[in-house]
Amino acid sequence: MFRLLKVSVFTIMLLSLAVVASVSGIFITYFRLTAEEPVARITFEEVGDQEYNAYLTLPGNDIPGKYVIYGDQWRIDAEFVKIKPWANILGVDSRYKLVRLEGRYQDIEDQNTRPHMAYDLGATKGIDIGKLVADWNFLIDAEYGSSTFTDIEVANTYTVYKSQFGLLVREDAAQSDATSNGAVDGLFNWLFGSK
């Protein structure tokens, strides 16, 4: 009887440890594959009809660069190296190099006929793609260009993120008195309508 009880306690402890290890592995995999890192912040100041001053701030540089942007949207491009998922899980992140910032028009006719400016960001912090491919080829899944664009809203600040798969952008809307009441009030307003 004592031996059966001893084996049962050992089995329960072993199974519990296996469950904890499995759940931990799932969480680590999820967090590594969905990791995001901010790589740029951008704000806009309207100076004319579909003409803006864009202020681009990169990590480690508190002084934003100023760029004239034409259009009703903006786009940022990067050279991107996607790392194999198993290497992501082990802690190796994808690599990027921001290469271009430009304005764009939602209307194709405007895009083909209106003023347009693009800026080379290639001198910013980044990587030598060719050297990385040669040195770490067994870790690399794909090498490609990644781009993200969105409409220009002067009241918003945009943050560009690098994920394990490419670039994405999120806007941080300027807080007004109506939205500054807190998360609980915001949730109630969303669920039940505004007061």
113-127 pLDDT, tens digit per residue, is 999 999 998 754 555
Please give the Cα distance from 99 to 26 (Å, whole number).
Answer: 35
Most confident of the ranges 4-13, 75-84, 134-143: 75-84
- State the pLDDT at residue 184: 64
Span 121-146, average pLDDT: 71
The pair of three-digit structure tokens given for residue 13, joined into one six-digit string:
């402890």
The pair of three-digit structure tokens given for residue 142, joined into one six-digit string:
């794909």
Span 72-94, average pLDDT: 91
The pair of three-digit structure tokens given for residue 130, joined into one six-digit string:
């060719």
Q: What average pLDDT does the chain have?
A: 84
Span 87-112, average pLDDT: 92
pTM above 0.85, yes or no: no
Name 41's bridge partners: 57, 159
Comparing CA positions, the residue from 96, 107, 97 lying closest to residue 164 is 96
Question: ∠ at Cα 119 (162, 61), nearest 5°?
Answer: 55
- State the pLDDT at residue 69: 96
* Confidence band, pLDDT 50/70/90 cuts, at residue 40: very high
- Our measurement of the distance from residue 117's CA atom to the centroid of its chain's CA atoms, rounded to an integer in Å, reads 24
Q: Which of 62-66, 109-113, 129-133, 187-191 has the lowest mean pLDDT?
A: 129-133
Q: Is 73 left (phi over 0), alpha (psi -120 to 50) or beta?
A: beta
Please give the Cα distance from 80 to 99 (Å, whole number).
Answer: 10
* Confidence band, pLDDT 50/70/90 cuts, at residue 179: very low
Would the pLDDT of 2 be above 60? no
- State the pLDDT at residue 191: 64
